[in-house]
A = this chain, B = another copy of it.
Amino acid sequence: MLPPAMKTSAPVLILCALAAGARAAIVTRPVAYEQGGVKLEGYLAYDDGTKTPRPGVLVVPEWWGLNDYAKGRARQLAALGYVAFAVDMYGAGVVTTDANKAKELSGQFYGKPLMAERAQAALDQLLATQLVDPRRVAAIGYCFGGATCQVLAYSGAPLVGIVSFHGSLVPASPEAAAKNRARFLICHGGADAFTAPEALAAFRKSLEDGKIDYEIAIYAGASHSFTNPEADALGAANKLPISYNEPADRRSWALMQQFFHEIFAVKH
């Protein structure tokens, strides 16, 4: 509030704003770590203008590996004010655009303890940066990455929320539901050819039975991989029914932000 009759000099105010803005920038850096005897390289992104601990978000990539798409999402999250860590599930530098290779790489994880363990190692790295508030950590994931987020949550990891974007759906066993601490936001394509309606219904039933606090958002006409602008090209090259859907991408990203505002709200 300005004191009465104070002279306001607009040029001074503008300079102050510019000076403050100039110091804040999105910084990114590779993070070398290891899990299960495999050398990994994650990707950290955050706005260095903020010094206080803030919410952290893991980004678990699609089955193609930690590629530019996953890194771009980490930078977007950093621009929103979060400390983002794009997870390396496969090994330093291991990425592919070949579906057969991707299937082989991701196949190491489904149904195995390794899925949660490999993701937990990334969570440990994110916490080790000392940039995040450990009470406000979430994980988002795409396709295979979405399944990984669910499984990480089921392992009892200290996550307040997960967001699965066109993720494979992993039903929660009673034990998993009992250990889970996260709220779930499941964004699913209405035309996702990889998940039968019955599987979606069974997944949802498992969350209801396990009293997991979830929200499932289903987007009209959206295929698997609907958030990835490269999906059509990847689909054509690999003969897979995947494609980008801009409205679903935009709406699910907006819903994620609403979700984050809720789960990251400071509890009094």
- Give residues in A with beta carbon < 8 Å to B: 1-11, 184, 190-191, 197-198, 200-201, 204-205, 207-208, 211-221, 247, 251, 254-255, 258, 262
Complex Cα gap A190–B215 (Å):
9
State the Cβ distance, A199 to closest chain B Cβ, in Å: 11
- Contact between B207 and A220, CB atoms less than 8 A apart: yes
Q: A8-B8, A190-B207 are in contact. List 7 more A-B contacts (CB 8 A).
A: A4-B9, A4-B10, A208-B220, A211-B220, A211-B221, A213-B221, A217-B218
Complex Cα gap A37–B221 (Å):
42
State the Cβ distance, A192 to closest chain B Cβ, in Å: 11
Closest to A12 in B: B4
- Contact between B220 and A218, CB atoms less than 8 A apart: no
State the Cβ distance, A262 to closest chain B Cβ, in Å: 7
A219: chain B residues within 8 A (beta carbon): 215
A1: chain B residues within 8 A (beta carbon): 10
- Contact between B204 and A213, CB atoms less than 8 A apart: no
A3: chain B residues within 8 A (beta carbon): 10
Closest to A11 in B: B4
State the Cβ distance, A198 to closest chain B Cβ, in Å: 8
Complex Cα gap A220–B198 (Å):
18
Closest to A201 in B: B197
Complex Cα gap A205–B201 (Å):
13
A247: chain B residues within 8 A (beta carbon): 213
Closest to A251 in B: B215
Closest to A2 in B: B10
- Contact between B220 and A217, CB atoms less than 8 A apart: no
State the Cβ distance, A191 to closest chain B Cβ, in Å: 6
State the Cβ distance, A205 to closest chain B Cβ, in Å: 7
* Contact sample, A vs B, 21 pairs, CB 8 Å cutoff: A1-B10, A2-B8, A2-B10, A3-B10, A4-B10, A6-B8, A184-B220, A198-B201, A211-B220, A212-B220, A213-B220, A213-B247, A214-B218, A215-B217, A215-B218, A215-B251, A216-B217, A216-B218, A251-B262, A254-B258, A258-B258
State the Cβ distance, A172 to closest chain B Cβ, in Å: 12
- Contact between A7 and B10, CB atoms less than 8 A apart: no
- Contact between A215 and B204, CB atoms less than 8 A apart: no
A197: chain B residues within 8 A (beta carbon): 201, 204-205
Complex Cα gap A221–B216 (Å):
12
Complex Cα gap A255–B217 (Å):
10
